[in-house]
Amino acid sequence: MSATRMIVFLLVVIAVYFGMHYYIYSRAARGLNINGNAALALRLAMLLAGLSFFIGEISSRNNSLVWLKPFEIVGATWMGVLSIAIAVFVLNDILNIFFRTEIFRYYSTLASIFLIFSASAFSLYNSSREPLVKEITVKTSKLPEGTDKFTIAQLSDLHLNFFKSSRWLERVASKTSSLKADLVVITGDLIDADLCRTNGFCQTIKNISSGHGVYAVTGNHEYYSGIERFLEIAKNSDIKVLRNERVDIAGVLELAGIDDKEFGNLSESLSLALKGGPEKSKFTVLLSHQPDIFDKAREAGVDLQLSGHTHAGQVPPMDLIVMLTYKYPFGYYQRGSSYLYTSPGTGIWGPPMRLFSRSEIVKITLSKVN
């Protein structure tokens, strides 16, 4: 992305972000008849909360700024509360079209604020729980003689930075290893910072055990953080990165991986990864950070695609936006004889919140049928 496009993109994001703040402020102030000094205090509080997100995002990528961690926590949480508030107040405005009385506006605003903070509190709790293990079975006749099943553990979107708890990552690594999978894959967005210099993150990732190693592909955040930095971290963590290529895994399956679509031509990446076409007698697994290459992948002969990126939206209205934006937003899909699982993510990005989804470690069992 050119410098000019990046600047324009950032300006648009900032305008939309603070436009959201103005909408929430005006909606709450008008609904509760807040004015004078109280209105000024509300404006200043929302401005500080809004700025804390940017301060936190900058500091989370720099280990020398860990003293700013409170800004990262407050800012990220505020981003989630703001998102939920937008969804709730939009619904409230729709109701106000039909009920136009002052008293309805007042009490519906109070009810909206109660709902916003209740949903936010549950989202914080829900996100703090350990990732659940999602188990999927895919039946296939392509496993070789002597192999009745083959297991794959999928991690996705861990978004590790200096503020992520090393204890949390240790629990994820331990839980993944306890699955005793034949193969572990990471479908992008592993990092948001240069982590191997502190906190023992690389050693923790290196401790993840599987029969045939750990493989990964790039996500968009690997490029935001620096692709060379990511490749160094992967090397130090014993992760093999597949960049538009495929490898044979123990003669059982072919594993292909492509770079994130935001930084290359997705069709060309897929063609490179599957050059010559997958071997039809072998089960072919494609790792793609973003899911919507699936139609092209299955036409090319891919049996199973594993993706992430969407986070299942985490909180409203992002969950609705994800469902409208992506053809395969989250969950398990079958088209013909090909399968796709889009993980809602093992970690989170932005707000430490999830309302209608859970963080997941996915265990896929390939089961042989005759």
Q: How confident is the model at residue 60 (pLDDT cuts 50, 70, 90)?
A: low
Tokens of residue 97, six digits: 């079209």
CA distance 78 to 30: 21
Of 294, 287, 240, the residue nearest 267 (C-alpha): 294
Q: In the predicted model, is pLDDT for residue 370 greater than 90? A: no
Q: What is the pLDDT of residue 280?
A: 79
Tens of pLDDT, residue by residue over 188-232, are: 999 987 776 555 788 899 999 899 999 999 999 998 888 998 999
**In this model, does residue 363 exceed pLDDT 70?**
yes
pLDDT, position 175: 97
DSSP structural state of residue 131: P
Query: Please, are residues 184 and 285 in contact by the beta-carbon 8 Å criterion?
Result: no
Residue 306: CB partners within 8 Å, gap ≥ 6? 152, 154, 156, 185, 187, 285, 286, 287, 288, 340, 341, 343, 362, 364
In the prediction, which pLDDT does 61 show?
A: 64
- Euclidean distance between CA atoms 318 and 351, whole angstroms: 12
The residue that leads in pLDDT, 6 or 11, is: 11
Top pLDDT among 313 and 195 is at: 313
147-164, pLDDT tens digit by residue? 999 999 999 999 988 777
- Tell me what pLDDT residue 64 has: 61
Counting residues of the chain whose pLDDT is more than 70, the rounded percentage is: 96
Which residues 6+ apart lie within 8 Å of 74 measured at CB?
A: 49, 52, 56
Which residues, 6 or more positions from 332, have their beta carbon under 8 angstroms from its beta carbon? 136, 339, 340, 341
Pairing mode of beta strands 338-342, 331-335: antiparallel
Give pLDDT tens digits for 167-193. Answer: 899 999 999 999 999 999 999 999 987
Give me the DSSP letters along 195-212: -TTSTTHHHHHHT---TT
Angle subtended at Cα 137 by Cα 320 and Cα 305, rounded to the nearest 5 degrees: 55
pLDDT at 350: 86
Q: What is the pLDDT of residue 259?
A: 95
Least confident of 179-193, 234-248, 271-285: 271-285
Better-predicted residue by pLDDT, 305 or 54: 305
Average pLDDT, the chain: 91
Position 1 pLDDT exceeds 70: no
CA distance 190 to 187: 8
Mean pLDDT of 273-284: 86
Q: Is the pLDDT of residue 267 over 90?
A: no
- pLDDT given at position 32: 94
* CATH architecture type of domain 132-368: 4-Layer Sandwich (3.60)
Say if residue 2's pLDDT is above 80: no
Strand arrangement of the beta sheet that strand 183-186 belongs to? 132-140, 360-368, 149-155, 183-186, 214-216, 239-241
- pLDDT more than 90, % of the chain: 74
**Please, what is the end-to-end C-alpha distance for the chain in angstroms?**
49
pLDDT at 67: 66
Ordered by start, the domain boundaries in the chain are 3-128, 132-368
Cα–Cα distance for residue pair 157/217, rounded to 1 Å: 11
Residue 367 phi/psi, 5-degree rounding, is -115, 130
Residue of 234, 208, 230 lying closest to 153 (CA atoms): 208
Q: What is the pLDDT of residues 96-131, one digit of tens each?
A: 999 989 999 999 999 999 999 999 999 999 999 999
pLDDT class for 334, splitting at 50, 70, 90? very high
> Tens of pLDDT along 61-81?
666 666 667 777 888 899 999
CB-count burial class (<10 Å; 0-12, 13-18, 19+) for 357 = buried
Residue 183 near residue 152, CB atoms below 8 Å:
yes
With both helix axes pointing from N to C terminus, report the angle between 3-32 and 36-59 in degrees, rounded to the nearest 10: 150
What pLDDT, on a 0 to 100 scale, did the predictor assign at position 9?
86
